[in-house]
Amino acid sequence: MPPRDPSCIFCKIIAGDIPSARVFESDSSLAFLDINPVNQGHVLLVPKEHHATIADLSDEAAAETASLLPLLCRALLKATGAHGLNVIVNNGRAAGQTVDHGHWHLIPRFVDDAVNWPWPHTPYSGDELGQMQFRVLRELAIEGGRSS
Ligand code: AMP
Ligand code: ZN
């Protein structure tokens, strides 16, 4: 059995302790219908290992679960007749995450549906873009040093 959190609703779904409408399962991952969909056919894809957010996943678990995205996207587009799909991850409360077991949302989208998108965008000003690039590059260099 993969590492699980006994209080986590998605771990309970993975273990079969509470019901779900499963649409795909592999050794590492499970996909099931969201009980409260943005649009019908909204699927949640979860790694079976319990980790609070995608940032906490091992590279291997992330790769195995994310590798299922193209297959699920193709099936969902055909099954729902959607014109497009949003594939999104909410990481942390500030980003709208409510279930602390990292997961991908696959949301069928229709031209002129009622979903509010895109989010507001604001261009950088002055040297903000260059400074942000520097900060991200510095953190990635530190991460690279840790993993080598
Ligand atoms: P998030 O807000 O990104 O953490 O997404 C959590 C999602 O889990 C929400 O869209 C909920 O509707 C969905 N959800 C919560 N409980 C269940 C459940 N028992 N079965 C299926 N989906 C669920
Ligand atoms: Zn869990």
Note the pLDDT tens digit of each residue in 10-58.
999 999 999 999 999 999 999 999 999 999 999 999 999 999 999 999 9
Which residues keep their CB under 5 angstroms from ion ligand 2?
5, 8, 10-11, 50, 101
Across the beta sheet with 84-88, the strand order is: 22-25, 29-33, 43-47, 104-109, 84-88
- Could you tell me where the DSSP H helices lie in 36-86? 59-66, 69-80
Residue type, 24: F
Q: What residues are paired with 87 via a beta bridge?
A: 106
Q: How far apart are CA 74 and CA 148, in angstroms?
A: 36
Catalytic residue among 42, 50, 103, 105: 103
- Return the domain boundaries, the chain: 9-120
In this model, does residue 146 exceed pLDDT 80?
no
pLDDT in tens, 68-121: 999 999 999 999 999 999 999 999 999 999 999 999 999 999 999 999 888 999
**Tokens standing for 62?**
């992330």
Tell me if residue 103 is catalytic: yes
Rounded to two decimals, the pTM is 0.95
Quote the DSSP letter at residue 112: T
Checking if the pLDDT of 1 tops 70, the result is no
Give the residues surrounding ligand 1 with Cβ less than 6 Å away: 9, 20, 34-36, 44, 90, 96-99
- Only one residue has tokens 């795909």, namely 24
Nearest CA to ligand 1 atom 17: 35
The pLDDT value given to residue 51: 96
What class is the 9-120 domain?
Answer: alpha beta
**How deeply is 50 buried, as exposed, middle or buried, from its count of CB atoms within 10 A (0-12, 13-18, 19+)?**
buried
